[in-house]
Amino acid sequence: MQGQGRRVAITGLGVVAPCGLGKEAYWQGLLGPGLDGVGRSVEIADWDSTPYYDSPKDARRADLAEQYAIAAAAEALDQSGELSADPRRIGTIFGTGVGGIHTLEEQIAVRLDKGERRVSPFLVPMMMANAPGAAVSMRHGLRGPNETICTACAAGTHALTYAARLIAWGLADAVVSGGTEHAATPTSLASFGNMTALSSVGTSRPFDAERDGFVMGEGAAVLVLEEWELAVSRGATILGEVLGGGSNADAHHITAPSPGGVGAIDCMRLALDDAGLTPGDIKQINAHGTSTPLNDAAESAAVTEVFGAGAVPVVSTKGVTGHALGAAGALEAAAVLLSFEHRQIPPTANTKVLGDDIAIDLVMGEPRDWEPGPTLSNNFGFGGHNGSIILAPAG
């Protein structure tokens, strides 16, 4: 983060997603076919918590939002290797939209059907939005700042940006950070459907002329962030660097983006200023791109205002992953890091013809080869929360 203090290296990455468990499977999933006619949501099939818990009983006492975070953190920390920082200066910063809503909905049904005495005493620690980060902290003995950010669909990006700033400002030497979500309950899907946010045909088509809403996703992604010199001194492999980030509010509407993407424009410019970059320095944009008519039009207008029409390659990965709410920003940061590694920008799945209101260079059809460079990732959440983060290849 230029001008903000110490450099922030990324040394570990872990992913749990419907399109692939583990970062390499996730990358292959991003290159594969999109979610076409799958319905209102896509979930991780045949999830097995056995490798991550001592017993089935321990796993049953953790909502899947926590289990996904535990699994992604294990992969990220394994890749990063043993951290040399004092555990008191290793933080745990997570983002989520709703926390353990599955457990909450299930236990409400138990109370209504069987009475209060049958409600699980583990309901509260399982439903808490901060449970995933708390569990990762306890599992790995991380005793630094342990906080959870809950800003709807911007939460994952906000968590990573805040985690990087803790290191840049000298308040932590390393942070395990990301986002997790498991939110597709019958009631939540009914609500999203009734507000017409979900695709009526079960297909996410970001920026397409026929886009009509998102498909709910789930999963987790975790990055290990470290102070640059500490990472170098212990011989860690550096995957990338956090250059900067931006956060602001639309102050407009509880669900709709501000017309013309005014808040998003300011947010991207804040991120550029924080990174000490100009619009011309950005070589890829990972868009929020939810496939809703209003969001995609506003984001396209914002990107065009800041960078110019068709000036930067843009991708939305939600045609493959679905929209994982508070985990979206972390999953998309993971996609950016893998894009650096594989020197390709994955295609925007299911999108065939850009809408008349879209004026961006959207990567469609096939992956696009590229020379990796600074990449901006956007996420915008209900409540008017905006988040942008800029990542760059190592060095």
Q: E strands of the chain, at which residues?
A: 8-17, 20-21, 90-95, 146-149, 174-181, 219-227, 240-249, 284-286, 313-315, 344-345, 361-362, 368-369, 375-381, 385-393
pLDDT at 2: 52
- Is residue 153 annotated as a catalytic residue, yes or no? yes
pLDDT at 395: 78
Distance of CA 226 to the CA centre of its chain: 19
pTM above 0.75, yes or no: yes
Give dist(CA 189, CA 225) in Å, integer. 34
- The active-site residue out of 102, 158, 182, 288 is 288
- Is residue 150 annotated as a catalytic residue, yes or no? no
pLDDT at 4: 64
- The active-site residue out of 102, 182, 323, 385 is 323
- The active-site residue out of 19, 102, 150, 153 is 153
Distance of CA 106 to the CA centre of its chain: 26
pLDDT at 88: 98
Give dist(CA 124, CA 147) in Å, integer. 17
Give dist(CA 270, CA 375) in Å, integer. 14
Joined together, the tokens standing for residue 203 give 């297909």
pLDDT at 170: 97
The answer to whether 14 and 74 are in contact (CB under 8 A) is yes
Give dist(CA 373, CA 252) in Å, integer. 33
Joined together, the tokens standing for residue 347 give 């295609």
Distance of CA 109 to the CA centre of its chain: 30
User: Ramachandran region of residue 92, left (φ > 0), alpha (ψ -120 to 50) or beta?
Assistant: beta
Domains of the chain (ranges; CATH) run 8-393 (3.40.47.10)
Three-state DSSP class for 365?
coil
Profile the chain (395 residues) by mean pLDDT over runs of 10 residues: 82 98 98 93 95 95 98 98 97 97 97 97 98 98 98 98 98 98 97 96 97 98 98 98 98 93 97 98 98 97 97 98 98 98 98 97 97 98 97 93
Report strand pairing: 90-95 vs 146-149. Answer: parallel
Sign of CA dihedral 247, 251, 252, 253: positive
∠ CA 351-364-386, rounded to 5°? 75
